[in-house]
Structure 1
Amino acid sequence: MVLENLKDYRIILASKSPRRQQLLADLDIDFVTEIHEVDEVFPEGLPMEEIPQYLARLKAEPFVGTMKENDLVITSDTIVYVADEVLGKPTDYDEAVDMLRKLSGRQHEVVTGVCLTSKTKQVSFAAVTDVFFKELSQEEIDYYITHYKPYDKAGAYGIQEWIGYIGIERIEGSYFNVMGLPVQHLYEELSKW
């Protein structure tokens, strides 16, 4: 393990996202996965970058009372922000279509908040990536939703899937942040733990 400062910690990733699990594994960090369901509701009026950090801290709360000395919990949340609107995960086909139409031909922000929690301290941070979509045809939107069923993804898309290949013209910022975990920033924070 490169991060020798973490060798005595039991690292817990509180996420059922296969993308987050893969990204953390690709950092060569040993971890276990443990999930507690929470209502992902945030107060009105929070600034864009604060929303996913708030939700990441909320996801850490169920662990606090039962943590052991050497536990380190990683929680995170991703939102898509376009035209002053937060796009979460679509609940059905029609909502996914609506979200992709809003993103079509426009620039939007993907914001991931991460929270690191141990028995003695908590640190949270956010990463922002600007994503630029081409104009998507209705046929492309229908094809993507039908074949990839992006109901577990903020903004109804995964950059690493077909829609990312054909629809994203460019990004400014971390690609991995758009996948759901800003691994370079996370690595830096873990190295300071």
Structure 2
Amino acid sequence: MALILASGSPRRRELMSLITPDYTVITSDVDETKIAADSPAHLAKALATAKARAVAEENPDDVVCGFDTVVECEGEVFGKPKDEADAVRMLRALSGREHRVHTGVCICRGRRAAATVETTVVHFSPIAEDDLCAYVRTPEPYDKAGAYAIQGHAALWCAGIEGCYYNIMGLPVHRTAQLLRELT
């Protein structure tokens, strides 16, 4: 039995290494545009479940961990920005406001599965327009939900958080370790 991380994210690989160094990476080919849910939190959970189950189907004897992160601001879902204009739109919406980061976690082992969603509240200070424009010209915002990396330059805008810091990076370490213990 192997442990598989169903994600190509370098941040998730780094965070999974805090739980165990003994895992492999197999990404799923799930079409995320075909998955819908009644809330941003449920969307994150549904996406994580779809990714984990897709990889688990091909690896039925292994434990598969799937994740997905979305940012929610006043009910609007912010995934990864499509381009610079989309990143600017998202960051302007988050500037000076509170938002939620939802990470869906799904762990599959054979026919058994456990899924949950972790939510962290993030408080951003107002972002100066010149800082925002400079940031979107870097590579940092483009493979991250909400167009920012809390562990990067966006740390300068973060006035506080309520909940799991690692959740904002896309893998709630404590909750994932708990689910793994329950399922293995």
TM above 0.5, yes or no, is: yes
Match for residue 151 of structure 1 among 142, 151, 167:
142
Change (3 A) 1:142 1:190: same
Match for residue 179 of structure 1 among 151, 169, 172:
169
Match for residue 45 of structure 2 among 43, 53, 57:
53
Instruction: Name the aligned partner's letter for residue 41 of structure 2.
Output: E
Which residue of 2 is the match for residue 120 of structure 1?
A: 111
Q: Which has the larger radius of gyration?
A: 1
Q: Give unmatched runs, 5+ long, in structure 2.
A: none
TM-score w.r.t. structure 2 length? 0.94
Which residue of 1 is the match for residue 54 of structure 2?
A: 62
Q: Specify the SS of the correspondent of 1:177.
A: helix
Which residue of 2 is the match for residue 33 of structure 1?
A: 25
Q: Specify the SS of the correspondent of 2:141.
A: coil
Cα deviation 1:152-191 (Å, max 9, x = unaligned):
0000001000122x10000000000000000001111111
Match for residue 70 of structure 2 among 56, 79, 84:
79
How far residue 150 of structure 1 moved from its aligned partner, in angstroms, is 1.2
Distance in structure 1 (CA, Å) of the matches to 2:136 and 2:39: 30
Are 1:111 and 1:127, in contact at CA under 8 Å, matched by a contact in 2? yes
Identity, % of aligned pairs? Answer: 37
Runs of 4+ in 1 over 6 A off after TM superposition: none
1:21 paired with 2:13, answer yes
Are 2:56 and 2:64, in contact at CA under 8 Å, matched by a contact in 1? no
Cα deviation 1:97-132 (Å, max 9, x = unaligned):
000000000000000001001213011011000000
Number of matched pairs: 182
Instruction: Name the aligned partner's letter for residue 148 of structure 2.
Output: Y
Instruction: Name the aligned partner's letter for residue 95 of structure 2.
Output: S
Instruction: Name the aligned partner's letter for residue 31 of structure 2.
Output: D
Which residue of 1 is the match for residue 128 of structure 2?
A: 137
Distance in structure 2 (CA, Å) of the matches to 1:122 and 1:190: 10
How far residue 51 of structure 1 moved from its aligned partner, in angstroms, is 0.9
Please state which structure has a larger fraction of its residues in helix: 2
Q: Specify the SS of the correspondent of 1:192.
A: helix
Distance in structure 2 (CA, Å) of the matches to 1:187 and 1:143: 37
Instruction: Name the aligned partner's letter for residue 145 of structure 1.
Output: V
Change (3 A) 1:148 1:64: closer
Cα deviation 1:47-103 (Å, max 9, x = unaligned):
23211110011112322432242x001010000000110000001001000000000
TM-score w.r.t. structure 1 length? 0.90
